[in-house]
Amino acid sequence: MPTGWLRRHSHRRTVRAFATVAAAAILATLTTGLLTPARASADGETYTIATDTTFAPFEFQDKQGNFVGIDMDLIRAIAEDQKFTVDIKPLGFDAALQAVQANQVDGVIAGMSITDKRKQVFDFSEPYFESGIQMAVLKTNNDVKSYEDLRGKRVAVKNGTQGATFANSIKDKYGFEVVSFADSSSMFDEVKTGNSVAVFEDYPVLLYGIAQGNGFKTVTPKEEPTGYGFAVNKGRNAELITKFNAGLDNLKKSGRYDKIINSYLGEGAAKDDNSFLGLIKSTYPILLEGLKMTVILTVISIAIALVLGVIFGLFRVSRSIVLRGIGTTFVDIFRGTPLLVQAFFIYFGIPSALGFQMSALTAGIITLSLNAGAYMTEIVRGGIQSVDKGQMEAARSLGIGYLPTMRKVILPQAIRTMIPSYINQFVITLKDTSILSVIGIAELTQTGRIIIAGNFQSFKMWLIIGIIYFVVIMALTKLSDRVEKRIVK
């Protein structure tokens, strides 16, 4: 039997296998996500609660990977008191608020200050913590001691917080510039790099960070306190607010509330070993879980993207102007918009508009698959067009139809050309998984952010995460090179 026929037959089996696996992945993923109930029942044994990911001591991850902190302990204690359970979804502050508004979750507890503006969008519980804004600078900074010393300088704040609101309210009076960040750890790093001179943050967050050795000090008195509240979407889940208030009152009467607060802000608050080796030892189980999620997202998404790429790639080279138009539109949309916007639109926009709930994992896989699929489409198109036109003409002259020619003659040859680009897209997709942290998926990068929120060791942690990415990508690249050589032979 001719060896050429065996190679073509092997390539066809490979393509069919990819299609089968990807189709199964699509069906399983969409079924899991789209059939999730929209919310808990009114009697409520289980409520889905969104929270921030980087707001120690209110919410952060411990060494075992569990979310802990004042907010986490309170909501779990209240749930126990009121005989319901909670499913915690760490999304980040901005994403958590959007999730509540989109009815993706039942409520949010994330150190959220109760303001008149927010009351127009959310229904709040009674305040469960009285906070207040303070300004902090590096310990080594002896020049900035008051707001007057900020003139002509920059200060860092966190998006959507009272600290940001307060800083913006006085910036014109004292002549300083405000720069905003998505999480507290990035805000502190901004000052450490010297690009800004101070931060405005809630005082318990500052005190916790200082106790953990983040290198800051407070230099102003606490501003007028504001209350933190548990929130639900306006006009929804009134029974959950009632239960929260009743449970909070019982915790205060029993003394359990004070015990929770003191465990994070009192003298007994723990301080970890933040040496390089100490960080590796204490965080590697959590980092491995993040890496596992990164690999899962990448493998499933790139398999689906390959199927999409073959379908729309064939559309792009079709003789039909309609099919070419569909293929071109698909590529233009998903290559012409940022992956971040696509993630927000798929996770928040579509479910909100159509009235259903989608899991973050489902949204993440769909986002990566469509985005990578657009690039795979162009890879497939380029591979097909790299095959000499005489191959098509010869097959057609023998009476073989267009589609059989594509399947049996053109694609097997094009695959060899596409393999290097496909491997490159695999690596790009693996790195793109980090963007999905914005919708609360705890992949490797998000896991790093969560850890930094608790220990404030950004340089060491990002170095560790960078090394992990480097090792994994290099290993995959070497493995792919060997696979490529065997297929091309």
The reply to whether 238 and 220 lie within a common domain is no
The reply to whether 242 and 175 lie within a common domain is no
Specify the DSSP class assigned to residue 146.
S
User: Is 112 among the domain residues?
Assistant: yes
Identify the CA nearest to 421 among candidates 361, 381, 362. Answer: 381
Residue % of the chain over a pLDDT of 90: 34
Q: Are 324 and 314 in contact (CB under 8 A)?
A: no
What is the distance between the alpha carbons of residues 57 and 482, in angstroms, rounded to a whole number?
48
Q: Give the DSSP per-residue string, 111-143.
A: S-B--HHHHTTEEE-S-SEEE-EEEEEETT--S
Q: Are 79 and 85 in contact (CB under 8 A)?
A: yes
Q: Given a cut of 90, is residue 171 above it in pLDDT? A: yes
What is the distance between the alpha carbons of residues 37 and 35, in angstroms, rounded to a whole number?
6
Distance from the Cα of residue 483 to its chain's centroid: 31
Q: How far is CA 256 from CA 6, 56, 71, 252, in A?
A: 72, 20, 13, 6
The reply to whether 365 and 467 lie within a common domain is yes
Q: Quick one: pLDDT band at residue 9, thresholds 50, 70, 90?
A: very low
User: Is 270 among the domain residues?
Assistant: no
User: Is 62 among the domain residues?
Assistant: yes
Tokens of 29: 């993923």
Q: What is the pLDDT of residues 423-437, one digit of tens each?
A: 888 888 888 888 887
User: Is 463 among the domain residues?
Assistant: yes
Q: What is the pTM of this model?
A: 0.59
Q: Given a cut of 70, is residue 36 above it in pLDDT? A: no
Q: Are 305 and 425 in contact (CB under 8 A)?
A: yes
User: Is 148 among the domain residues?
Assistant: yes
The reported pLDDT for the residue numbered 342 is 92
Residue % of the chain over a pLDDT of 70: 86
Residue 239 CB partners (closer than 8 Å, separation 6+) = 42, 44
Residue 187, CB-side half-sphere exposure with 13 Å CA sphere: 31
Hey, how many other C-beta atoms are within 10 angstroms of the C-beta on 151? 10
Domain's final residue, options 265, 291, 315: 265
Residue 435 CB partners (closer than 8 Å, separation 6+) = 339, 340, 343
At 77, which helix (H) or strand (E)? helix 70-82
Domain's final residue, options 208, 239, 265: 265
How many domains is the chain partitioned into structurally?
A: 3
The reply to whether 468 and 409 lie within a common domain is yes
Q: What residue type is 304 in one-letter code?
A: I
Residue 89 CB partners (closer than 8 Å, separation 6+) = 48, 49, 50, 51, 96, 99, 105, 360, 440
What is the distance between the alpha carbons of residues 373 and 309, in angstroms, rounded to a whole number?
5
Q: What is the pLDDT of residues 357-368, one digit of tens each?
A: 788 889 999 999
User: Is 54 among the domain residues?
Assistant: yes
User: Is 157 among the domain residues?
Assistant: yes
Domain that holds residue 240: 46-129+228-265
Hey, how many other C-beta atoms are within 10 angstroms of the C-beta on 160? 18
Residue 399 belongs to domain with CATH number = 1.10.3720.10
The reply to whether 77 and 186 lie within a common domain is no
The reply to whether 303 and 257 lie within a common domain is no
The reply to whether 252 and 310 lie within a common domain is no
Question: What is the C-alpha R_g of the chain?
Answer: 27
Q: Region 191-196: what's the mean pLDDT?
A: 89
The reply to whether 117 and 259 lie within a common domain is yes
Q: Quick one: pLDDT band at residue 140, thresholds 50, 70, 90?
A: very high
Q: Are 308 and 370 in contact (CB under 8 A)?
A: yes
User: Is 295 among the domain residues?
Assistant: yes
The reply to whether 57 and 110 lie within a common domain is yes
The reply to whether 424 and 366 lie within a common domain is yes
SS3 category, 67: strand
Q: Region 39-63: what's the mean pLDDT?
A: 74
Hey, how many other C-beta atoms are within 10 angstroms of the C-beta on 84? 18
Identify the CA nearest to 312 among candidates 298, 297, 325, 299. Answer: 325
The reported pLDDT for the residue numbered 388 is 77
What is the distance between the alpha carbons of residues 148 and 157, in angstroms, rounded to a whole number?
18
Tokens of 88: 């915690």
The reply to whether 147 and 212 lie within a common domain is yes
The reply to whether 207 and 242 lie within a common domain is no
Task: Report helix angle 411-432 to 360-386, nearest 10.
Answer: 140
- For the chain, the average pLDDT equals 81
Domain's final residue, options 211, 240, 265: 265
Q: Are 188 and 214 in contact (CB under 8 A)?
A: yes
Specify the DSSP class assigned to residue 108.
E
Residue 155 belongs to domain with CATH number = 3.40.190.10
Tokens of 307: 């199927």
